[in-house]
Amino acid sequence: MTIISDAVNIDDDAEIAPPIKIQVCYGTSSRQFLRALTVPKGISLHDAIFRSGLLEEYREIDLSQCRVGIFGKLKTPATVVRDGDRIEVYRGLIADPKDARRNRAIKTASEDDKLSLDKKTR
């Protein structure tokens, strides 16, 4: 007697499923990286970044220290990507935006004070 099973291995489904198209992007002040890829359905955000070649091109990136997202929304590296997703790797901030704004305001105020003193001494 032969028994035939209808059970399907999950890995087999991944091989049968058509691949999906995604983009991986990253940017610095001087260079940008944007690569379109075709990847297996069910791939994680982390694995898609590795497949893109981004980490070879930008060796300074430590993926364990970077935030990642899809279309501007933060995601975990384990997030499964979907067809058409744009994966983004975010750089750390150089300065806290609030501190930078405060410093600009102080600088502008001191420049305004100097201008008003110059006008008074004339």
pLDDT tens-digit readout, 52-105 = 999 999 998 888 888 999 999 999 999 999 999 999 999 876 667 787 788 888
User: Which residue bears the tokens 């991986």?
Assistant: 24
Retrieve residue 14's tokens.
């991944």
Q: What is the dihedral of CA 72, 68, 56, 26, to 10 degrees?
A: 20
Report residue 12's pLDDT band, with 50, 70 and 90 as the boundaries.
low
Contacts of 113 (CB under 8 A, 6+ apart): none
Q: What is the pLDDT of residue 108?
A: 82
Spell out the domain ranges in the chain: 13-91, 94-122
* C-alpha to C-alpha distance for 104 and 112, rounded to whole angstroms: 12
Q: What is the pLDDT of residue 100?
A: 74
- CA-to-CA separations, 31 to 14, 34, 43, in angstroms, rounded: 35, 10, 27
* Section 10-21 average pLDDT: 71
Q: What CATH code would you report for 13-91?
A: 3.10.20.90
Contacts of 27 (CB under 8 A, 6+ apart): 33, 91
Q: What is the pLDDT of residue 85?
A: 97
